[in-house]
Amino acid sequence: MTSGVGALWSHRNSLRILVRRDLAVKYQQSVLGYLWSLIEPLGMGAIYWFVFGVLYSRDTNRHLGEAAGSYPLFLITGIFAWMWTSSALSEATNALTGQSRLITTMNVPRQVFPIGRVTGRFAEYAAGLPILAAIAIWYAADGRIDPGWSLLALPLAVLVQATLLVGLALLLSAANVLMRDVERFMRLLIRVLFYATPIIYPLSLVRDSGLPGWLKSGYELNPLVGIFQLHHAVWYPDEFPHARMLATTVGISLLVLVVGWWTFRRLEPAVLKEL
């Protein structure tokens, strides 16, 4: 894995070119271009705010606590991070099958292709951070939030999320070449994960629910739970995950990266033969 990382670093310019190409191709026939990376999460946020912030505001406010007065910020924070997750997993799954000719002709580490999809979707997430910051400044001016040291949770959240996504991208991209059902399965799993992760609702809602204890414990083993708690903790320090959840999230993310890298290397000969 160390030698693989070294080879990947030596071809970082190839990764940069691939990311720029993917972004250019994705928006080349779009009038609004990169603005779509902002419009979609903002539109989703507006819909969920109407449902949970207006129609079911009583139940929502009871569980949000201090975040109740700035629920749109809570929503947008989670949805922006989720768009990076869902888009990266969806596109990384077919990163190899969709670029077979390029993969078999370019002399670069094949990990560049799935990692490039994760990096490209991160660029879209980063483009939305100024919008997120503007919303946060609005609520801070009203005294509804008081960000401070908790802002340091953002780089930690991004680092852990990137680690998990790269590991999953390597694993899924290689598996999808050999078993095309993986892509269809991921469409379903991504929908399930959206509601099985505290993105549009606080974690306390799950902890205070009538679910069995073993199910609550299993729910918190999902590394995305800890990652999205970190994202929310940027503006709401009380949402910062406790030590056990944070350690579990980081540990599982690192494990997924190692397993994904190892699996990709083991399957690479079969993948190239299939392509």
Parse the chain into domains and list their residue ranges.
5-274
pLDDT at 5: 63
Are the CB atoms for 96 and 175 separated by under 8 Å? no
pLDDT at 63: 61
Instruction: Walk along the chain (275 residues) in steps of 10 and give the mean pLDDT of each run.
Output: 64 76 68 68 81 68 65 90 92 81 74 88 88 87 79 94 94 88 88 91 84 88 94 90 93 94 87 75
pLDDT at 171: 92
pLDDT at 34: 67
Q: Is the pTM of this model over 0.95?
A: no
pLDDT at 79: 93
pLDDT at 124: 85
pLDDT at 103: 74
